[in-house]
Chain A
């Protein structure tokens, strides 16, 4: 059994990448899929507040930002994410390894939902005919013209990645919104379902 990781952390992204690159079922299910999905994770959400009030949540959040090259990370300057990071004592200019998690954890106990206002994280899921091309955090302006965009609150993404709800249930229930060619997506639901299965297999802290 793999070590549990914080949701949407650098460890989570890396584990998911490794699994998707080696999962034969996913390869087969996504053999006809082409195109990037721009994932929009709205963190103004009680579940995000809960997760980012823990030391592993903060470490994972900063670690995830550290996956971005500095010039891309700086594109979050002035956004809600930048403000939240600031509250935790982290500057987007800082290298993630220099970050004091223990000090941030103390500050995190004072966070409220208001501190998450307009805090949005962008990520990619890009598979090309059975091969995972990219799955990583994104700067806000990258892939704005991606053929698909999927928006959801942090808790909805977590429900999807833990298998609590399927993408269809979340979209139908209005908890996620999808932009792009719906017919194409419906034809590739097997790939979407297997993607969710892979995410579900990653144990979360």
Chain B
């Protein structure tokens, strides 16, 4: 653990208890399962008897699937600080499993924010009542031929120039909708989910800015879920492809069907996910830092513990500085996002700040994991050392949810357009 500089946490017994309980869960449940899943064959990680589902069940038993759902639907709506702590502690246990647990509730959470009473009855309430693994969600955005450049369309003056080919598309089908297309093989939780929060392009299909949002049961005819892909890191977070062939959904499952609001919806989602991704990766950075600190206090080189070496101390300090800065920034950003989205329902968070917090957190997670491995020397590349896994887990962060570079460009556009800084 670490000295908590934030007195809002340190002096609040309830929040401190929340933090220590989450840490215990991360240490006792996530960490061991994460290492076991990391060594497993990728396809086996998504099987029903995999430790993955044991984690999901235990998370639900703790009520994690009810967080971010408004109290009126039986949820336990937490505040921004509790949310940050939740993401960071779970991320400390495993950034992959933290991502799975949090993304798993996206379909229900989105339906609870913008869905009709009917979809709340059919999707949100059953989700709330499930304490096993009957339901699990995934969030699917990217299309196979579209990478992070897709995100750039949101701020582009001519989004139609991004084309329409290769996107999951929704068309009217009587009173409902029909979905056709593919969502990329890097869709988190796709191989194991029962529901997807899917973003299709809405009619008249002029460009990616006409973004919709649908809650799609994945047992519908026409849906194919691929097995988990084999990858370098975050192997405990099953990612795979979703194929939609004439998948019919009722009208109320298309929870966002106003194409003119697509860009606003996208920016809202990206702000929320920035808070979650940022928190989980700060947790990973902290985990890597703690491994390095432990190793530096055990390893003797040149007749002294390496923690006594000046260069080591400088390196450890730099890691500490990055983690503390990222956490403080992300907490401020999350407060803004929660106020705008959940508290005031004004839906106007500062996207530039949210993206900055996300990219900063993910970038420093990789840098800290890299430095932590470096401090381990040759031991750092041994498969038996936790730092080896943390380093691999940090790498996908620079790509997932948009590459750091693209997210930064998007944040730059927003920062300038919104005139967050002006010259007097």
Contact = CB atoms under 8 A, between A and B. Distances in A.
A binds B: yes
Given A165-B116, A169-B114, A169-B116, A182 B347 contact: no
A182 B264 contact: yes
B258 A171 contact: yes
Contacts of A164: 117
A165 B115 CA distance: 9
A106 interface: no
Contacts of A169: 113-116
Interface stretch (B75-83, B249-257, B328-336): B249-257
Nearest to B267: A186
Contacts of B261: 171-172, 182
Contacts of B117: 164-165
Nearest to A190: B346
Interface in A147-205: 164-166, 168-169, 171-175, 177-178, 182, 186-187, 189-190, 193
B114 A173 contact: yes
B260 interface: yes
Contact of A189 (B114, B252, B346): B346
A186 B255 contact: no
B383 interface: no
Given A172-B258, A173-B114, A173-B255, A193 B345 contact: yes
Contacts of A193: 344-346
A172 B346 contact: no
Nearest to B202: A174
Contact of A166 (B258, B260, B265, B345): B345
Given A169-B115, A169-B116, A189 B258 contact: no
A182 B345 CA distance: 15
Interface in B235-261: 251-252, 254-258, 260-261
A189 B268 CA distance: 14
A45 to B, nearest CB: 16
A173 B118 CA distance: 11
Interface of A is mostly: helix
Contacts of B346: 186, 189-190, 193
Nearest to A173: B116
Interface in B112-126: 113-117
Contact of B115 (A173, A182, A187): A173
A120 B261 CA distance: 25
B348 interface: yes
B331 to A, nearest CB: 23
A189 B347 CA distance: 7
B253 to A, nearest CB: 11
Interface in A22-58: none
A177 B258 contact: yes
A186 B114 contact: no
Nearest to A167: B345
Contacts of A182: 260-261, 264
A107 B403 CA distance: 66
A178 B260 CA distance: 9
A172 B262 CA distance: 9
Nearest to A196: B345
Nearest to B260: A182
A148 B257 CA distance: 19
B348 A172 contact: no
Given A168-B114, A169-B114, A186-B264, A174 B258 contact: yes
A189 B339 CA distance: 12
A189 B345 contact: yes
A172 B265 CA distance: 9
A57 B345 CA distance: 32
A182 B266 CA distance: 14
A173 B252 contact: yes
Contacts of B114: 168-169, 172-173
Interface centre among A171, A172, A175, A193 (most CB of B within 10 A): A172
Contacts of B116: 165, 169, 173, 175
B348 A189 contact: yes
Interface of B: 113-117, 213, 251-252, 254-258, 260-261, 264-265, 344-348
Interface of A: 164-166, 168-169, 171-175, 177-178, 182, 186-187, 189-190, 193
10 contacts: A164-B117, A166-B345, A168-B114, A173-B257, A177-B258, A182-B260, A182-B264, A189-B345, A190-B344, A190-B346
Given A168-B347, A169-B114, A173-B115, 15 more contacts: A165-B116, A172-B114, A172-B255, A173-B114, A173-B258, A174-B251, A174-B258, A186-B264, A186-B346, A187-B348, A189-B344, A189-B345, A193-B344, A193-B345, A193-B346
Which are the 4 A-B pairs with shortest beta-carbon distances? A189-B346, A174-B257, A172-B256, A172-B114
